[in-house]
Structure 1
């Protein structure tokens, strides 16, 4: 057999990422985790707010003149930024995440995960560099543009880059596969926040709070991990299936399809908008809790957290500092539950089914939200904390389960792009949840409701959102037969060319395994295409998992140390 002379496709093309024979699919989840653990720091950006609010004053904030306009404050260098202004970065993160995933999700399916992952790395890390310059020059608009807008685009592309790939590598465990990757997004802050604190303490001087230096160091670290993750992505050859696995036979009226719906059709179906509502309502309730977890615990239990029969308003400054430390442990514990729920619930959905898993989320969630005011009035910290731990596990589980739910309903052909469109529900919830919770609290306190009871109505309203989510989930039915792509559509010229190119690349691998002796296959133009033949070395798989597992274990350890305070 002669050695092929087919020119290799471009390095960043999707075809170049088609896996060789013997590739171990367990190398793909750590590649996804490497990216998600980096962009997940978006959840932990609040660690920068206080230092940045005194970037000029260093020891205490220097307020801008009362008559200074908002535009002038954006360019002022002689006074400090307000935390409320810095908080816009958090809003931009999730609005841009959802919108960029929706806009470029279709492009990702054609470009492939490697190119999308690299673009995500340049956007997220480049945004941090721009933000560092903004801190150095004291220009808040550069933080909004750098991390908020450009970094937000990186979040969207990085978040959805592994979804379609993992679902195709793990058709037998869709939920578990997406749960492993999306778990990383929830865990990014556990690693990034303590790392940022350590770096800021190291770089702090009498003339600097150490934030811009921290941004640069974290950008460099994240860039290495994200590029490594992007280059580690591989896609399976067309028609590949796990050894020994047989696809289940389609059942009559089954909710899990073995066919495919095009993106342009999928987003116009009732099923898409019902799932949009399912995600939006689940996230709105959960994200509202995340935003108020710390103050809620402090205001509801007050002095009881430190063994005193005093309300929150009766505590002095030192006592409030004590319960603030306990509340920080509570927040850390919720973070762990958020992460664990992403993997556990998504894996559980492989057995229970996606629709029934969401039924559990909404029914159990409704009971727990409705029970929270009772546990608060009982004065039971343990029951209160347990309820919120389960609630946050289902919040994270909802994120990790939805990609597999979409694959069940619309097929895997364009699931990444469809998931990108659906993430606009997250952007909506990111505004709806916190606004709803915060304004309800302020309204009740202004109306004379005691702080300890100000959250009761809020919990009941959030429980009501979950009832609406349950109804939307129960209405999800299989897609109408005429909406599926035909074989002719799946084999249209563009798709046929792509498949042929993938087959050619794979053929190179097979030819090499049979004949090549020098580790490369000759290519036209005098170049060569590296080929990985045979089985993937186990040491490489272990090293890949250690690269992401060790930082994650460190973050979990730091968080557990803080959480222990809650029960002392």
Structure 2
């Protein structure tokens, strides 16, 4: 499938909605916690087991993004969005079969493995294209699209809760909810497939007018620092940023994956316990914070710089976790407020990292580099839920309850954020030996970079 090139006069502002249609759909992953209690009840699972589909989905997200990043660069965003549509929707259909037949391994296979591939390819499908359309505002551009991934649960959480209420929380009701999700998202994601375009080169755009107005230009010739994906993964900057992303994601995803049961547990022993509907509302609020953080903080990074904004994500995030540990169970508003800000940092970290990569490595293969970096998300997708669920399960087995189920795991999150803060401080500009000369581009550019790296 050839990348569809924008015709003269095509507005670059049509590309973010195309990206949003995909990211709003695959962002449903953040609403998985709504399905956890019904699955645990219907299929007799514990918290760690019910997290497996989500964990595997995040692992496959990172792996498919890493291995598929080069294919996305080569085949274009329409091909990638089509693959994402097929895999993500099929994952729900397989999960529906698993729920109906009470075969939990099919849910893990469908939602986790097949759907996870759709997550990874869909997540990176518009990023490189957006950066090329908006070289002047990369943080804002990627933030607009990636906020859809964070905002997906804002739609999916109440929608899923309503379906479970209508269809029932037994295995048949869960199966029907999965079926509706799969079919609905297939239709919605097809809008992005049909709408997306790649930019024309500067030579094509130069001098062309449409209706008396200049067409939005595509990217010109490569200028400034340019590093191939093969060379980028050999730099300390890549691996420092990998640690930064992994630590930030681990700290946020631990709350997000277990959000609904967590807030219920936290205030179970108080005079105002949290109902199931209120817990679903909390998940939706977290999704809103995740979404707004992606556009708000990433746009701010265009003004104050990427390193400074990650200092905020990691340093202030650690302090907010400390507030929850010390005072969270005494004040419901404080707990909710801290969780919302932490999730805004979590979302902002995702939306800012493509622009950080662009600053460090240029635009030449930024999509492929981004895909490789998302293996940090795979690691965090295992670490975050594992830390929170495993510790909570063992604390419960030891006779503890309420907020005491989470104190130790939140302490671990604080330590991880401090590690990420230190890694961010170590990031410096990429050494010139890894650069591709600006005038050299095309099929031999990667070979040139490889030869430079090997000779160095």
Greater helix share, 1 or 2? 2
Shift of 1:136: 3.9
What whole-Å deviation, never above 9, does each CA across 1:89-126 have from its counterpart, x for those lacking one? 11211111110000110111010001111111111112
Q: Which residue of 1 aligns with 2:137?
A: 173
Q: Is the 1:128–1:216 contact (alpha carbons within 8 Å) kept by the matching residues of 2?
A: yes
Which of 14, 20, 31 matches 1:33? Answer: 20
Assess, with a 3 A threshold, how the Cα gap between structure 1 residues 104 and 384 changes in structure 2: closer, same or farther. Answer: same
Which of 99, 121, 127 matches 1:157? Answer: 121
What whole-Å deviation, never above 9, does each CA across 1:440-483 have from its counterpart, x for those lacking one? 44555667777444544433332221111111111111111121
Number of residue-to-residue matches in the alignment: 433
Assess, with a 3 A threshold, how the Cα gap between structure 1 residues 296 and 116 changes in structure 2: closer, same or farther. Answer: closer
Q: Which residue of 2 aligns with 1:193?
A: 157
Q: Is the 2:30–2:257 contact (alpha carbons within 8 Å) kept by the matching residues of 1?
A: no
Q: Which residue of 1 aligns with 2:55?
A: 91
Q: Which residue of 2 aligns with 1:533?
A: none
Q: Is the 2:226–2:361 contact (alpha carbons within 8 Å) kept by the matching residues of 1?
A: yes
Distance 1:82 1:439 in 2: 14
What whole-Å deviation, never above 9, does each CA across 1:9-40 have from its counterpart, x for those lacking one? xxx202xx111111111110110010111111
Which of 3, 6, 13 matches 2:2? Answer: 13
Q: Which residue of 2 aligns with 1:281?
A: 247
Assess, with a 3 A threshold, how the Cα gap between structure 1 residues 125 and 297 changes in structure 2: closer, same or farther. Answer: closer
Q: Which residue of 2 aligns with 1:365?
A: 317
Q: In structure 2, the residue corresponding to 1:210 is in which secondary structure?
A: helix
Shift of 1:354: 0.9
Q: In structure 1, the residue corresponding to 2:352 is in which secondary structure?
A: helix
Counterparts of 1:2-151 in structure 2 under 5 Å? Answer: 12-14=1-3, 17-52=4-39, 61=42, 80=43, 82=45, 85-151=49-115
Q: Is the 2:139–2:298 contact (alpha carbons within 8 Å) kept by the matching residues of 1?
A: yes
Shift of 1:323: 4.9
Q: Which residue of 2 aligns with 1:336?
A: 288
Counterparts of 1:217-228 in structure 2 under 5 Å? Answer: 217-228=180-191
Q: Is the 1:95–1:427 contact (alpha carbons within 8 Å) kept by the matching residues of 2?
A: yes
Q: Is the 1:275–1:473 contact (alpha carbons within 8 Å) kept by the matching residues of 2?
A: yes
Distance 1:210 1:228 in 2: 28
Q: Which residue of 2 aligns with 1:466?
A: 417
Runs (5+) with no aligned partner, structure 2:
207-213, 218-222, 447-456
Distance 1:330 1:204 in 2: 21
Shift of 1:341: 0.7
Moved more, 430-439 or 154-163: 430-439
Shift of 1:405: 0.6
Q: Is the 2:100–2:171 contact (alpha carbons within 8 Å) kept by the matching residues of 1?
A: no
Do residues 230 (structure 1) and 193 (structure 2) align?
A: yes
Q: Is the 2:225–2:360 contact (alpha carbons within 8 Å) kept by the matching residues of 1?
A: no
Q: Which residue of 2 aligns with 1:535?
A: none
Counterparts of 1:311-330 in structure 2 under 5 Å? Answer: 322-330=274-282
Q: Is the 1:35–1:229 contact (alpha carbons within 8 Å) kept by the matching residues of 2?
A: yes
Shift of 1:485: 1.2
Do residues 408 (structure 1) and 359 (structure 2) align?
A: yes
Q: Which residue of 2 aligns with 1:350?
A: 302
What whole-Å deviation, never above 9, does each CA across 1:343-395 have from its counterpart, x for those lacking one? 11011111111111101112211222222233237x23333322222111101
CA RMSD between the two structures: 3.0
Q: Is the 1:52–1:209 contact (alpha carbons within 8 Å) kept by the matching residues of 2?
A: no
Distance 1:389 1:204 in 2: 30
Q: Is the 1:302–1:323 contact (alpha carbons within 8 Å) kept by the matching residues of 2?
A: no
The structure having more radius of gyration, on CA atoms, is: 1
Q: Is the 2:28–2:156 contact (alpha carbons within 8 Å) kept by the matching residues of 1?
A: yes
Shift of 1:422: 0.6
Assess, with a 3 A threshold, how the Cα gap between structure 1 residues 229 and 407 changes in structure 2: closer, same or farther. Answer: same
Distance 2:261 2:175 in 1: 29
Q: Which residue of 2 aligns with 1:437?
A: 388
Distance 2:80 2:114 in 1: 14
Do residues 209 (structure 1) and 172 (structure 2) align?
A: yes
What whole-Å deviation, never above 9, does each CA across 1:540-562 have from its counterpart, x for those lacking one? xxxxxxxxxxxxxxxxxxxxxxx
Moved more, 103-112 or 81-90: 81-90
Do residues 380 (structure 1) and 320 (structure 2) align?
A: no
Do residues 423 (structure 1) and 412 (structure 2) align?
A: no
Q: In structure 1, the residue corresponding to 2:202 is in which secondary structure?
A: coil
Assess, with a 3 A threshold, how the Cα gap between structure 1 residues 33 and 486 changes in structure 2: closer, same or farther. Answer: same
Do residues 271 (structure 1) and 223 (structure 2) align?
A: no
What whole-Å deviation, never above 9, does each CA across 1:385-443 have from its counterpart, x for those lacking one? 22222111101111111111111111111111111111110110111122223344455
Q: In structure 2, the residue corresponding to 1:338 is in which secondary structure?
A: helix
Runs (5+) with no aligned partner, structure 1:
1-11, 55-60, 62-79, 247-256, 307-319, 496-568
Assess, with a 3 A threshold, how the Cα gap between structure 1 residues 300 and 34 changes in structure 2: closer, same or farther. Answer: closer
Distance 1:429 1:335 in 2: 18
TM-score by length of 2: 0.85
Q: In structure 1, the residue corresponding to 2:192 is in which secondary structure?
A: helix
Distance 1:96 1:410 in 2: 25
Shift of 1:303: 4.7
Distance 1:302 1:363 in 2: 30
Q: In structure 2, the residue corresponding to 1:490 is in which secondary structure?
A: coil
Assess, with a 3 A threshold, how the Cα gap between structure 1 residues 27 and 477 changes in structure 2: closer, same or farther. Answer: same
Q: Is the 1:445–1:451 contact (alpha carbons within 8 Å) kept by the matching residues of 2?
A: no
